[in-house]
């Protein structure tokens, strides 16, 4: 889509909020294990009531959900949730292990650490937290993070907080959540809004992730790290984009958002040119069901048969704007539809820029225009077919959104999709409702705590790099690749444990070359648990399998997640062969091909080696095969020549 | 001292004339600048740590020893007039005519509001607040709210029961359809039992006690659910009894109305902490639909009149638990101190150790009734099975069947305010006045505990 954007000129400002699960024994405020399960569970139903601030106001989106009769089903796995997650018991004291890990990070970025940590309640009423708020505490302010050896980025806050429940599904008015994830400790790192290009945002996110992993105390895998973005351009608005799961998606999401804001600004300017002001949009939704009595539109037919109605709204002067693309595959009309869906609970809208269509005829469109007294050449119309009440609410929401269009870009919270586009989630909450968690007394940060955190503090990037090069003899390039690897903490541990039997460079290569290669081929290596990879390395280090067997074995592990590694080694026949057995196989191969080999003269070795490796790869070290082939060749050819 | 801060911080804040609510810039000795609003030091925090609220809403504490300088950036903004608050309901309900429910506040979690700045919980319950927080009550009745007093329920004493009885009686005399008493949960069942006895001779309308296990500042609070249920009971339940109305299970599905003499708080924190012991609850209430489902048909029916108040409680009654220790000494002390009556939570069937029997005999001889209930809570006392029990009976104890021990205590306190005659006392204590005694337990009147496997 479109020409290249000059982000500097557009005044792009991006702030990142990175949420990373910590690898602790327990959750943040109770003694449940901090991992996810697929296990038997009880469940219970709750509702959340919008509460008032001191000024008497309520969160409008929360109020709306409540009025709709929204209820939440909580699935409570017996071994991974307790009364604390069920909001049936006050929180236990803040998990010290989690606090220390977070403090270690704060120390590593030279943030200011408070003398007293105050756990707060941040009101969140989407049901993902049984209490209706998230417990969260600032443990560091300011500081900076090295993105590369010559560039650092300022941080705003470092927070330790509880993760929310996992959404499992939605049926009618009931959303299901599972409580296993609720309470897993998270560290949240927020940068200042100083990032000025999409690519830079990705780099910073990657650097934060790397710095976190350098501690070796964070979780890995899908869903354990989540990125939120705050994106704005000059003249636009701050959009909060939630839940970008993959790093490489960040630039695309930002670019799409910038283009969306630009498109919305164009719409605004166009409306101004057409002389549309808020007064032009003071219209009420009108019942136009009569027009569709004989309709051929299946969707409308179905609604009418169920006793529904068709309502229409005129958008004066909007002709042609609803079809304008704001993001790949998403039009300005989609933005209106998002509002209609959210606030009216309807399936969607029809608008004049896509009509006739969906079985709605030109004649029907014209009659609606007529009924509304609208001008076919300049006005747009929007139709909703649904229960009367919903249809009216939906069209009022469309009108509200159209009014926003006159001003430009509304402040919104949007959700990220896998394809890099975003969708409307809700209006940006007013100043976050935050008040003290009175069940947990303030925590004094003691010198002991700082001392312990210092021990966990990740080494600065250059120091770590130097150590890999100096101590383990890695080439600089390889060392850099190792540090960038998602499993760097595992790699480091393996070097420490098996370095005496297996050269560090072999271990690193297996990860950054072989494993990465397999990922490129589509093998799901990322879901293999550390323990299994460690097992593979230990088998190689103990000489029980050849390192050439690595790829074959890892592929098998990825494809058989239930199987244990030893069994796979047996099944695949990867167990190392004795020298004698290998020797007799080689002898047989050479005898079978003796004529060819004789004819090849000096190239005989290469050919013999190729034949032998075909049979023996992964079963015995290549070096050993070479020695045996050389010996046997000499024996056979020597004897016969 | 400024807002709970220690000497050093107070001096510092006074020197620049800063007060809670003022926006300040704090420069630390390590060169960091922190900007935020000064908060008062609440509760038990370290008074040498300055607490500021950052713009993000987070609070952080800065120790006096690390502060280089504080300067005021802005004065506490006086709040402008508060506009009309948004209503929770789309349409304001219009209450059915001539149904008026009186809500009486006595304190506790349900009648508290959190100070969003400090997190401190302040008791407060006004008509306006109740209607703003739970406007659905108007679907069932017009509401009037009055605060009798405001105490945490652990502070409750028998003389306060008397005040509550008076307040409830006044409301009933004024012709309300029912009364709701908002109460702290810790001792709610004692007060409910007290009112059950005070009104046992004549109660025309229901009196529903209600509380909250989760404070009302949280979206997950059970306060609204429980209060709505209680108002439904007060407005339209067919029974006129003193009940406790609280969550029936952990989810927000139904609440239960328990007889005030049968109910007990059985959990420190769960929503469904209140359960009937040795009896079925009176009714289930579905606050979403307003439906009441009667579980026990043996109840006193709602009437248009017939209030009989029998107020008055003795405040010198002892309530002790037998335990493997110097129980005899404790009983002797109580007698020496001139207590008017003693309730013993005996072990099992109601036993005390034989060395305590001498003390019991002395009490009875001195005209002090000794009432026996069981610390097992479930089941009936029976002092005929073992010889210790028979010796206790011989010494003159009054066993009270399956009455829960807290109810036995409240009842003895009420009885002692009417008579000190041991024979009369025994007669009253062993008669079923308000449903406190049951003579038949079927097998399901005992909770089934979880023993592993499929729940």
Chunk chain B into consecutive blocks of 10 residues (it has 455) and report each block's average pLDDT, rounded to whole numbers.
Answer: 86 91 93 92 82 92 94 75 71 92 92 73 80 93 95 94 98 97 97 98 98 91 96 98 98 98 98 98 97 96 94 98 97 98 98 97 98 98 96 98 98 98 98 96 92 74
Give me Rg for the CA atoms of chain A.
32
Query: For residue A641, what pLDDT band results from cuts at 50, 70 and 90?
Result: very low
Contact A391, A341 (CB under 8 A): no
B128 touches chain A (CB under 8 A): no
Is B303 marked active-site?
no
Query: What pLDDT sits at residue A4?
Result: 86
How many Å lie between the alpha carbon of A46 and the closest alpha carbon of chain B?
A: 5
For residues B87 and B134, give the distance between their C-alpha atoms in angstroms, rounded to a whole number.
10
Contact B403, B259 (CB under 8 A): no
User: What φ, ψ does residue A534 adopt, rounded to 5°?
Assistant: -65, -40
For residues B62 and B39, give the distance between their C-alpha atoms in angstroms, rounded to a whole number.
12
Q: Which of B74, B90, B120 is the last residue of a domain?
A: B74
Residue B87, in any domain of the structure: no
B213 and B338 in a single domain? The answer is no
Residue B156, in any domain of the structure: yes
B235 and B190 in a single domain? The answer is yes
B171 and B274 in a single domain? The answer is yes
Query: What pLDDT sits at residue B256?
Result: 98
**Based on the structure, what is the number of domains in chain B?**
3
User: Best residue in A77, A102, A116 to probe B by mutation, most B CBs within 10 Å?
Assistant: A116
For residues B209 and A5, give the distance between their C-alpha atoms in angstroms, rounded to a whole number.
66
B255 and B327 in a single domain? The answer is no
DSSP A452-464: HHHHHPPPPHHHH
Query: What pLDDT sits at residue A460?
Result: 74
Contact B386, B357 (CB under 8 A): no
Listed residue (A15, A3, A87, A9) closest to A44, CA to CA: A87
Q: Return the H-helix or E-strand segment holding A138.
A: strand A133-141
Strand order across the beta sheet in which A380-386 lies: A286-287, A309-315, A380-386, A350-351
Query: What pLDDT sits at residue B372?
Result: 98
Angle of CA points A254, A259, A262, to nearest 5°: 125
pLDDT at A54 over 70: no
B129 and B241 in a single domain? The answer is yes
User: What φ, ψ does residue A14 adopt, rounded to 5°?
Assistant: -125, 135
Residue B57, in any domain of the structure: yes
Tokens linked to B150? 């405001």
Contact A228, A242 (CB under 8 A): yes
Listed residue (A211, A225, A185, A190) closest to A98, CA to CA: A185
Angle of CA points B126, B127, B131, to nearest 5°: 115
For residues B436 and B261, give the distance between their C-alpha atoms in angstroms, rounded to a whole number.
5
Q: Exposed, middle or buried, B208 (CB in 10 Å: 0-12/13-18/19+)?
A: buried
B353 and B419 in a single domain? The answer is yes
Tokens linked to A354? 């896509």
For residues B223 and B246, give the distance between their C-alpha atoms in angstroms, rounded to a whole number.
9
B297 touches chain A (CB under 8 A): no
For residues B386 and B399, give the distance between their C-alpha atoms in angstroms, rounded to a whole number.
14
Residue B155, in any domain of the structure: yes
CA terminus-to-terminus distance, chain A: 72
Answer whether B58 sits within 8 Å of A142, measured CB to CB.
no
Q: CB pairs under 8 A, 24+ apart, for A371-378?
A: A371/A286, A371/A288, A371/A291, A371/A312, A372/A283, A372/A286, A372/A288, A372/A312, A372/A313, A372/A314, A373/A314, A374/A314, A374/A316, A376/A319, A377/A319, A378/A274, A378/A316, A378/A317, A378/A319
Q: Residue B237 CA to chain centroid, in angstroms? A: 22
The CATH number of the domain where B369 resides is what? 3.40.50.40
What b/e readout covers B28-47, taking b as 16+ CB neighbours within 10 angstroms? beeebebebbbbbbbeebbb
Query: What pLDDT sits at residue B428?
Result: 98
Residue B302, in any domain of the structure: no
User: What φ, ψ does residue A152 adopt, rounded to 5°?
Assistant: -125, 155
Tokens linked to B31? 């060169």
How many Å lie between the alpha carbon of B162 and the closest alpha carbon of chain A?
A: 33
Is B186 marked active-site?
yes
B402 and B281 in a single domain? The answer is no
Answer whether A112 sits within 8 Å of B28, measured CB to CB.
yes
Sign of CA pseudo-dihedral B122, B127, B128, B129: positive
**Which residues in chain B touch residue A122, judged by CB atoms under 8 angstroms apart?**
57
Q: Considering only alpha carbons, which residue of chain B is nearest residue A50?
A: B219
Answer whether A45 sits within 8 Å of B253, measured CB to CB.
yes
**Which residues in chain B touch residue A46, judged by CB atoms under 8 angstroms apart?**
220, 251-252
How confident is the prediction for chain A on average, in pLDDT? 90
CB proximity list for B398: less than 8 A, separation 6 or greater: B369, B370, B371, B372, B425, B426, B429, B430
For A272-410, give the CATH class.
alpha beta
Question: What count of other Cβ atoms lies within 10 Å of the Cβ of residue B448?
Answer: 6
Sign of CA pseudo-dihedral B312, B316, B317, B319: positive
* A36-50 tens-digit pLDDT: 988 888 999 999 998
B430 DSSP assignment: H
Query: For residue A272, what pLDDT band results from cuts at 50, 70 and 90?
Result: very high
Q: Give residue for tokens 């890995």.
A: A220
User: Best residue in B8, B55, B59, B81 to probe A by mutation, most A CBs within 10 Å?
Assistant: B59
3-state secondary structure of B207: strand
Tokens linked to B333? 């002390």
What average pLDDT does this structure show over A561-580? 84
B184 and B248 in a single domain? The answer is yes
Which residues form the domain of B118?
100-294
What average pLDDT does this structure show over A163-178? 94
Query: What pLDDT sits at residue B78?
Result: 56
The residue among A581 and A409 whose pLDDT is bigger is: A409
The CATH number of the domain where B29 resides is what? 2.30.30.520
Residue B265, in any domain of the structure: yes
Answer whether B454 sits within 8 Å of A40, measured CB to CB.
yes
Listed residue (A30, A8, A411, A492) closest to A239, CA to CA: A411
For residues A499 and A496, give the distance between their C-alpha atoms in angstroms, rounded to a whole number.
6
Interface of A with B in 101-140 (CB under 8 A): 112, 114-118, 120-123, 125, 130-133, 136-138
Q: Exposed, middle or buried, B396 (CB in 10 Å: 0-12/13-18/19+)?
A: middle
* A586-598 tens-digit pLDDT: 888 888 888 888 8
For residues B403 and B378, give the distance between their C-alpha atoms in angstroms, rounded to a whole number.
9
B159 and B251 in a single domain? The answer is yes
Omega cis (within 30) before A121: no
DSSP A404-448: HHHHS---EEEEE-TTS-EEEEEEPPSS--EEE-TTS--EE--HH
For residues A230 and A233, give the distance between their C-alpha atoms in angstroms, rounded to a whole number.
10
For residues B292 and B229, give the distance between their C-alpha atoms in angstroms, rounded to a whole number.
9
Residue B163, in any domain of the structure: yes
For residues A548 and A543, give the distance between their C-alpha atoms in angstroms, rounded to a whole number.
12
Question: What count of other Cβ atoms lies within 10 Å of the Cβ of residue B81?
Answer: 4
Residues in chain B: 455
Question: What count of other Cβ atoms lies within 10 Å of the Cβ of residue A192?
Answer: 15
Active-site option among B106, B109, B191, B388: B109
* A178-204 tens-digit pLDDT: 999 999 999 999 999 999 999 999 999
CB proximity list for A163: less than 8 A, separation 6 or greater: A19, A21, A181, A182, A183, A184, A185, A186
B201 and B248 in a single domain? The answer is yes
Q: Which of B16, B39, B74 is the last residue of a domain?
A: B74
Residue B452, in any domain of the structure: no
B132 and B38 in a single domain? The answer is no
B185 and B50 in a single domain? The answer is no
For residues B305 and A556, give the distance between their C-alpha atoms in angstroms, rounded to a whole number.
83
Q: Considering only alpha carbons, which residue of chain A is nearest residue B249?
A: A44
- Note the helical H segments in A232-305: 250-273, 298-305
Contact B155, B190 (CB under 8 A): no
Angle of CA points B262, B263, B268, to nearest 5°: 155
Contact B181, B207 (CB under 8 A): yes
Strands (DSSP E) contained in B248-353 are 255-259, 263-265, 274-276, 283-286, 291-294, 317-321, 341-346
What average pLDDT does this structure show over A377-393? 94
B83 touches chain A (CB under 8 A): yes
Sign of CA pseudo-dihedral B345, B347, B349, B355: negative
Sign of CA pseudo-dihedral A25, B218, A52, B21: negative
Query: What pLDDT sits at residue A640?
Result: 47
């Amino acid at each position: 889509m479109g020409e290249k954007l000059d982000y500097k000129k557009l005044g792009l400002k991006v702030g990142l909020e990175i949420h990373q699960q910590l690898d602790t024994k327990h959750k943040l405020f109770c003694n449940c294990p901090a991992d996810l399960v697929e296990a038997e569970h009880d469940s219970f139903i709750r509702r959340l009531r919008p509460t008032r601030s001191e000024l008497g106001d309520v969160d409008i989106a929360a109020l709306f959900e409540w009025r709709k009769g929204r209820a939440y089903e909580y699935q409570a796995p017996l071994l991974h949730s307790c009364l604390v997650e069920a909001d049936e018991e006050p929180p236990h004291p803040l998990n010290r292990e989690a606090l220390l890990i977070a403090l270690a990070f704060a120390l590593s970025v030279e943030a200011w650490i408070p003398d007293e940590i105050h756990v707060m309640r941040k009101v969140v009423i989407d049901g993902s937290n049984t209490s209706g708020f998230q417990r969260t505490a600032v443990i560091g302010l300011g500081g900076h993070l090295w993105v590369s050896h010559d560039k650092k980025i300022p941080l705003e806050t470092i927070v330790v907080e509880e993760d929310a429940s996992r959404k499992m599904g939605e049926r009618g008015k009931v959303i299901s959540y599972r409580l296993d994830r609720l309470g897993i400790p998270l560290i949240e790192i927020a940068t200042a809004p100083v990032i000025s290009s999409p690519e830079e945002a990705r780099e910073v996110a990657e650097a934060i992730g790397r710095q976190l992993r350098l501690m070796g105390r964070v979780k890995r895998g899908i869903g354990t790290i989540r990125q939120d973005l705050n994106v704005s351009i000059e003249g636009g608005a701050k959009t909060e984009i939630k839940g970008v799961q993959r790093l490489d998606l960040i630039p695309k999401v930002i670019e799409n958002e910038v283009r969306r804001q630009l498109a919305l600004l164009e719409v605004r300017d166009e409306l101004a040119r057409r002389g549309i002001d808020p007064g032009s949009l003071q219209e009420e939704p009108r019942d136009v069901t009569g027009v569709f009595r004989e309709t051929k539109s299946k969707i409308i037919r179905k609604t009418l048969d169920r006793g529904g109605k068709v309502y229409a709204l005129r958008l004066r002067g909007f002709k042609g704007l609803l079809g304008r693309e704001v993001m790949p595959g998403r039009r300005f009309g989609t933005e209106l539809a998002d509002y209609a869906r959210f606030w009216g609970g309807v399936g969607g809208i029809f608008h004049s820029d896509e009509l006739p269509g969906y079985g709605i005829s030109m004649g029907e469109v014209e009659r609606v225009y007529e009924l509304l007294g609208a001008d076919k050449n300049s006005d747009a119309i929007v139709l909703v077919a649904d229960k009367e009440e919903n249809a009216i609410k939906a069209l009022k929401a469309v009108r509200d959104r159209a009014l926003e269009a006159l001003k430009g870009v509304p402040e919104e919270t949007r959700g990220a999709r896998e394809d890099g586009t975003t969708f409307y989630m809700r209006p940006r909450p007013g100043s976050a409702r935050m008040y003290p968690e009175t069940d947990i007394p303030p925590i004094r940060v003691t010198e002991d705590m700082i001392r312990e955190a210092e021990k966990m503090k990740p080494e600065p990037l250059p120091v770590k790099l130097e150590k890999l090069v100096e101590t383990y003899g890695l080439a600089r390039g390889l060392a850099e690749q190792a540090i960038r690897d998602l499993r760097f903490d595992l790699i480091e541990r393996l070097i420490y444990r098996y370095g005496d039997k297996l050269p560090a460079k072999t271990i690193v290569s297996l990860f950054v070359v072989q494993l990465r290669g397999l990922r490129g081929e589509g093998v799901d290596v990322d879901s293999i648990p550390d323990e299994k990879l460690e097992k593979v390395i230990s088998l190689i280090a103990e000489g029980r399998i050849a390192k050439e067997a690595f790829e074959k074995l890892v592929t098998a592990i990825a494809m058989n997640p239930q199987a244990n590694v030893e069994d796979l080694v047996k099944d695949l026949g990867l167990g190392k062969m004795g020298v004698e057995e290998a020797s007799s196989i080689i002898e047989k191969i050479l005898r079978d091909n003796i004529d060819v080999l004789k004819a090849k003269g000096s190239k005989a070795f290469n050919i013999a080696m190729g034949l032998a490796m075909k049979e023996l790869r992964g079963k015995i070290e290549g070096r050993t095969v070479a020695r045996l082939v050389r010996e046997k060749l000499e024996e056979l050819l020597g004897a016969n020549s | 001292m400024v807002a709970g801060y220690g000497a050093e911080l107070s001096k510092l804040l006074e020197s620049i004339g800063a007060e809670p609510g003022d926006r300040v810039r704090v420069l630390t000795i390590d060169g960091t600048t922190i900007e935020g609003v000064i908060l008062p030091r609440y509760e038990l925090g370290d008074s040498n740590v300055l607490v500021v609220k950052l713009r993000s809403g987070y609070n952080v504490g800065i120790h006096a020893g690390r502060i280089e300088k504080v300067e005021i950036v802005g004065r506490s903004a006086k709040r402008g007039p508060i506009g009309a608050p948004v209503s929770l309901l789309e349409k304001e309900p219009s209450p059915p005519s001539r149904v008026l429910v009186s809500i009486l506040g006595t304190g506790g979690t349900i009648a508290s509001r959190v100070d969003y700045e400090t997190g401190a919980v302040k008791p407060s319950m006004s008509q306006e607040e109740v209607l703003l927080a739970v406007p659905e009550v108007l679907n069932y009745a017009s509401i009037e709210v009055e605060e009798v007093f405001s105490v945490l329920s652990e502070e409750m004493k028998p003389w306060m029961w008397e005040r509550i009885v008076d307040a409830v009686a006044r409301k009933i005399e004024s012709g309300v359809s029912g009364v709701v008493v908002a109460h702290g949960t810790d001792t709610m069942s004692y007060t409910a039992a007290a009112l059950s006895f005070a009104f046992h001779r004549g109660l025309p309308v229901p009196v529903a006690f209600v509380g909250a296990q989760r404070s009302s500042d949280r979206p997950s609070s059970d306060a609204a659910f429980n209060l709505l249920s209680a108002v439904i009971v007060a407005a339209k339940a067919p029974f006129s009894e003193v009940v406790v109305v609280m969550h029936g299970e952990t989810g927000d599905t139904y609440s239960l109305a328990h007889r005030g003499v049968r109910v007990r708080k059985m959990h420190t924190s769960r929503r469904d902490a209140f359960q009937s012991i040795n009896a079925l609850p009176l009714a289930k209430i579905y606050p979403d639909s307003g439906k009441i489902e009667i579980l026990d048909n043996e109840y006193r029916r709602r009437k248009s009149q017939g209030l009989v108040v029998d107020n008055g409680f003795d405040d010198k009654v002892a309530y002790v638990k037998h335990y493997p220790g110097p129980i005899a000494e404790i009983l002797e002390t109580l007698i020496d101190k001139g207590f008017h009556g003693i309730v013993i939570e005996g072990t099992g069937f109601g036993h005390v150790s034989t060395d305590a029997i001498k003390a019991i005999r002395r009490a009875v001889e001195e005209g002090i009734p000794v009432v026996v209930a069981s610390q097992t809570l479930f089941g009936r006392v029976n002092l005929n099975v073992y010889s210790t029990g028979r010796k206790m009976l011989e010494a003159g104890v009054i066993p009270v069947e399956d009455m829960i021990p807290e109810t036995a205590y409240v009842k003895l306190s009420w009885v002692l305010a009417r008579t000190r005659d041991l024979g009369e006392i025994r007669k009253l204590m062993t008669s079923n006045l308000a449903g406190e005694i049951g003579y038949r337990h079927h097998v399901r009147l005992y909770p089934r505990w979880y023993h592993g496997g499929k729940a």
